[in-house]
Structure formats: structure tokens, C-alpha cells
């Protein structure tokens, strides 16, 4: 894409610390890397390793900026963590898949982008209220799916789960969740 991560990217935001979400960190040694403190604390212990976190595979230089969602509510989410000064990019708590999981909300002029990480594996699962098969806490995951749907009902929102093969098309066509 012609991007220079050190020059063109202000930050990398991790929704959680599973290996399939941290495996590309080697490409960002000079970037600010932000992640949820609550998930990091779980991920670096035995419980995290049993759940798919591989901290021994993280780059030796990896020292993420760990944040808590201790800021103001956003829609149905009880709290958030503004990432940008204007608050248009923020983390919101979306636990269930794993403890401490967060999603990224990007509020544009006409549409919001909800980068769901693994809070939902696909938009179809979100719409059906179907949690993923590896969730640690199905009841919490279902409550998270309801919060995401409620957020998307409040304003035009493009929902982008990390593993949804149709997400790229929806993003390019600006297809909102309804």
C-alpha cells in the first residue's frame, strides 16, 4: 500500500492480546501501540497462555501503552477510553470473547466505524446474537453483542469484525449495519 508505519501511522490499537492479533507487531517497532490493560494482565499469565496468548512470541521491544476504559460513556457502553484529543477515536469495553477485550469506535461526520476485534466473528453472527465458539463467558459475550447492535441502531455504523471475510467489502461500499 506504500505506507511507512513509522511515518504514516500514529498508533496501532490492539483489541486484545491473542496471538492472531499480535502476530504482526514486528512491523511496528517505532509506533505507539495501545492495548487494554485488563486484557494484558490476563494475557501475560497462565490463564492467558491457555486461552491463546503467546507473550513469549511478542517482540522483545514490545512495551504497549496499557489503558483502562475509565472515560465517559459512549452510547450503550458504560465507559470508554478516548484515544484522540477530540474523542472521535475511542476504545469501548466489549468483553466476552476474552476478559478485557475492547473494540475501537471511530466517529466520522456521517458514519461511525465499529472495529469489533473478536467481540463478534461476523456481522451475521452479530445480527443473529450468536457468540463465537471459543468465548470464555457466553452471557457476557451476548450482552456485548446487544451493546454493539444498540450502538449501531443509534447512528449509521459500519461494523468491522476482525475475522469477517465480508468486512472489506462492507467498508469499501460504506454499508451500514441495520
To the nearest whole number, what is the mean pLDDT of the chain?
Answer: 95
Q: What range defines the domain where residue 151 resides?
A: 5-171
In a domain, 22, yes or no: yes
- Whether 86 is in a domain gets the answer yes
CATH of the domain at 89: 3.60.15.10
Q: Is residue 99 assigned to a domain?
A: yes
Structurally, the chain folds into a number of domains equal to: 1
Q: Is residue 146 part of a domain?
A: yes
The pLDDT tens digits of the residues spanning 94-147 come to 999 999 999 999 999 999 999 999 999 999 999 999 998 888 799 999 999 999
**pLDDT value at position 133?**
80
On whether residue 140 sits in a domain, the answer given is: yes
- Identify whether 176 is part of a domain: no
What's the pTM value of the predicted model, to 2 decimals?
0.95
Predicted local confidence at residue 178, as pLDDT? 87
- 74 beta partners: 77
pLDDT at 52 over 90: no
61 found inside a domain: yes
Amino acid at each position: 500500500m506504500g505506507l511507512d508505519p513509522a511515518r504514516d501511522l500514529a498508533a496501532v490499537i490492539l483489541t486484545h492480546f491473542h496471538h492472531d492479533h499480535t502476530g504482526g507487531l514486528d512491523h511496528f517497532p517505532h509506533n505507539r501501540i495501545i492495548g487494554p490493560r485488563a486484557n494484558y494482565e490476563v494475557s501475560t499469565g497462565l490463564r492467558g497462555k491457555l486461552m491463546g496468548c503467546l507473550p513469549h512470541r511478542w517482540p522483545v521491544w514490545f512495551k504497549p501503552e496499557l489503558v483502562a476504559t475509565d472515560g465517559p460513556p459512549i452510547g450503550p457502553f458504560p465507559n470508554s477510553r478516548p484515544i484522540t484529543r477530540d474523542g472521535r477515536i475511542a476504545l469501548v469495553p466489549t468483553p466476552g470473547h476474552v476478559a478485557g477485550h475492547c473494540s475501537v469506535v471511530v466517529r466520522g461526520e456521517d458514519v461511525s466505524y465499529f472495529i469489533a476485534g473478536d467481540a463478534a466473528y461476523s456481522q451475521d453472527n452479530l445480527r443473529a446474537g450468536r457468540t463465537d465458539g471459543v468465548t470464555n463467558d457466553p452471557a457476557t459475550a451476548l450482552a456485548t453483542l446487544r451493546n454493539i447492535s444498540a450502538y449501531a441502531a443509534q447512528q449509521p455504523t459500519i461494523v468491522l469484525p476482525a475475522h469477517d471475510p465480508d468486512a472489506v467489502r462492507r467498508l469499501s461500499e460504506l454499508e451500514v449495519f441495520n
